[in-house]
Amino acid sequence: MDFKSGVTFDPQPALQQGELDLVMTSDILPRSGLHYSPMFDYEVRLVLAPDHPLAAKTRITPEDLASETLLIYPVQRSRLDVWRHFLQPAGVSPSLKSVDNTLLLIQMVAARMGIAALPHWVVESFERQGLVVTKTLGEGLWSRLYAAVRDGEQRQPITEAFIRSARNHACDHLPFVKSAERPTYDAPTVRPGSPARL
């Protein structure tokens, strides 16, 4: 198995065309000819500089972000969980700035050049170092990561073994994730009062 580490923010077409064999994604493309195996659930958290005024708040509302600059990956905002499930339902549209590199994005947040909404497990080490702080969005914004393969290939023994091993490793070693072994194919949601969709 070969791994491609190059940054691409829309890898599923390459999977459909046979250029890739497996893609880790939180986006489900309907009627795509792809099968999505659930990997784990994770919380999307607001990422702030430690001295940002919102860092003192216990819980963040959509209105708190109205005048902020939200740093995002270069994807359509409709693909962002924070947009679809937190900001858009409240009618809040902060200014957006695209950043194509996670480390640069974290550095920009730490320098108070904007805020971000990222998976907690991605930013946990930066938070531990004191570079950033994270806050819960509303009652908690949870999403699910999937392993996507071309339909039918999920039954290949090597694919099954890889997905199972990757899921187990992630759930055993990544902070702030929960197992998602039960197959579901729905979109991520805000779960008031519930930490994850299990």
Name the more confident of 38 and 198: 38
Name the more confident of 110 and 24: 110
The domain of 19 spans 12-38+145-190
Total of domains in the chain: 2
Of 161, 173, 142, whose CA–CA distance to 37 is shortest?
161
Q: Based on the domain organization, do 82 and 160 belong to the same domain? A: no
CATH of the domain at 119: 3.40.190.10
Q: Based on the domain organization, do 53 and 135 belong to the same domain? A: yes
Contact predicate 171/196, CB 8 Å: no
Q: Based on the domain organization, do 131 and 51 belong to the same domain? A: yes
Q: Based on the domain organization, do 49 and 98 belong to the same domain? A: yes
Q: Based on the domain organization, do 64 and 17 belong to the same domain? A: no
Q: Based on the domain organization, do 54 and 111 belong to the same domain? A: yes
> Residue 196 falls within a domain, yes or no?
no
Q: What is the 3-state secondary structure (H, E, C) of the chain?
A: CCCCCCCCCCCHHHHHCCCCCCEEECCCCCCCCEEEEEEEEEEEEEEECCCCHHHHCCEECHHHHCCCEEEECCCCHHHCHHHHHHHHHHCCCCEEEECCCHHHHHHHHHCCCCEEEEEHHHHHHHHHCCCCEEEEEEEEEEEEEEEEEECCHHHCHHHHHHHHHHHHHHHHHCCCEEECCCCCCCCCEECCCCCCCC
> Residue 6 falls within a domain, yes or no?
no
Of 89, 142, 145, whose CA–CA distance to 117 is shortest?
142
* pTM for this predicted structure: 0.81
pLDDT band at 24 (very low <50, low <70, confident <90, very high): confident
Q: Out of 8-22, 110-124, 166-180, pick the least confident.
A: 8-22
> Residue 7 falls within a domain, yes or no?
no
Q: Based on the domain organization, do 126 and 159 belong to the same domain? A: no
> 109-132 pLDDT, tens per residue?
999 999 999 999 999 999 999 999
Q: Based on the domain organization, do 95 and 163 belong to the same domain? A: no
> Residue 153 falls within a domain, yes or no?
yes
Q: Based on the domain organization, do 132 and 171 belong to the same domain? A: no
Q: Based on the domain organization, do 54 and 115 belong to the same domain? A: yes
For 95, the token pair is: 């200014």
pLDDT at 8 over 50: yes
Name the more confident of 6 and 81: 81
Average pLDDT taken over every residue of the chain: 86
pLDDT band at 3 (very low <50, low <70, confident <90, very high): low
Strand partners, 133: 48
Name the more confident of 1 and 140: 140
Q: Based on the domain organization, do 178 and 135 belong to the same domain? A: no
> Residue 137 falls within a domain, yes or no?
yes
For 13, the token pair is: 């077409």
Of 119, 137, 111, whose CA–CA distance to 49 is shortest?
111
Strand partners, 135: 46
Q: Based on the domain organization, do 47 and 135 belong to the same domain? A: yes
